[in-house]
Structure 1
């Protein structure tokens, strides 16, 4: 089990670390979008897409950078008492709080699964069945068969009216990666409790 946990931590931390370092550049993407928004409003006709694209970029920046933030311990922490505790007590406390984090991320992941299915035109109560049908239709019949499984594709109610499923898929992926990183942190905490490091 220890070898499997070490491999899990190694690969999850490496993937989330690489993705997090890439997502750090997202701040410049958002700045560029908002700069173009200011320029277009001042000198040209205002662009309809800038506000929503900036919001979508912010979602990607925040949600896909979240696992790296968890990994680096960069999340907000009130360490009024925590800072003076011995390492083993910190590990016990961290293991308990990461279980609460995993529950919270599980709730977010459940909501993201339902919301993404809704944005792809599914209005039922079994989104996993919908995803399975969508994947099987794509594998057996290609994109046109997958399109037949989907219903009315959700769009934003603004003047630009972009499709919402891409940003919801990004949120779904980000929550899943956060859950994987939380499990990695739990393995590290358990190892510290046992006096080892992973």
Structure 2
């Protein structure tokens, strides 16, 4: 089990790296959207490519940060029943959910999205909008994003089993982390040398 906990720690570090890197795309999407609006109203110029790159980047944010959100225990939960159980009981519910809901769904989406990406790549699928972008890069994000979610789900499963065996702290307890917006603001300040 100790080897699996080390593997879980490596997966968590990868997830943390991906999550903290992808957060910068929020700023990029905002700047592209603002720039597109300014150009549209000042010089009467706009392009579908600007809109589509925002959609593509938003897809990357959503897909690549799903595992990061899972690791930080920030997914929406409705604990009408589970909230009445002890932490051990809640952990067993988490294990059941990971094994029978999260993993099958994520693996199925990852598996079924791969041929769609391959077809888009082989045919060099293009947007149907005038001036639109190539589609295959965004199609590739789906299997990659769900792969990242699957490996983080595996990490969460390991940590919960480790908790039940008394080998690690409770992974279900939310520790206070800065929000994504707070992290981005801190990173921008650090880059400017304000901290």
Report the TM-score, using the length of structure 1 for normalisation. Answer: 0.80
Contact 1:119 1:154 in 2 (8 A): yes
Pairwise CA distance, 1:43: 1.2
Residue number in structure 2 paired with 1:36: 35
Residue number in structure 2 paired with 1:180: 151
Structure 1 segments, 4+ long, off by >4 Å, are none
1:40-189 matches, cutoff 5 A: 40-44=39-43, 45-99=45-99, 100-121=101-122, 152-189=123-160
Q: Deviations over 1:110-164 (max 9, x none)?
A: 122111111122xxxxxxxxxxxxxxxxxxxxxxxxxxxxxx2111111123211
Contact 1:69 1:75 in 2 (8 A): yes
DSSP-derived class of the 1:9 partner = helix
- In the alignment, the residues of structure 1 paired with residue 33 and residue 139 of structure 2 have an alpha-carbon distance, to the nearest angstrom, of 22
Pairwise CA distance, 1:190: 1.2
Aligned length: 167
| Residue 197 (str. 1) matches residue 168 (str. 2) | yes
Pairwise CA distance, 1:10: 0.9
What is the RMSD computed on CA atoms of the aligned residues? 1.4
In the alignment, structure 1 segments of 5+ residues that lack a partner are: 122-151
Decide which moves more: 68-77 or 187-196.
187-196
Residue number in structure 2 paired with 1:141: none
Contact 2:5 2:162 in 1 (8 A): no
Contact 1:16 1:68 in 2 (8 A): yes
Decide which moves more: 163-172 or 10-19.
163-172
Residue number in structure 2 paired with 1:17: 16
Contact 1:40 1:47 in 2 (8 A): no
- In the alignment, the residues of structure 2 paired with residue 20 and residue 32 of structure 1 have an alpha-carbon distance, to the nearest angstrom, of 20
- In the alignment, the residues of structure 1 paired with residue 166 and residue 6 of structure 2 have an alpha-carbon distance, to the nearest angstrom, of 19
Pairwise CA distance, 1:74: 0.5
In the alignment, structure 2 segments of 5+ residues that lack a partner are: 170-195
Pairwise CA distance, 1:4: 2.4
- In the alignment, the residues of structure 2 paired with residue 58 and residue 109 of structure 1 have an alpha-carbon distance, to the nearest angstrom, of 19
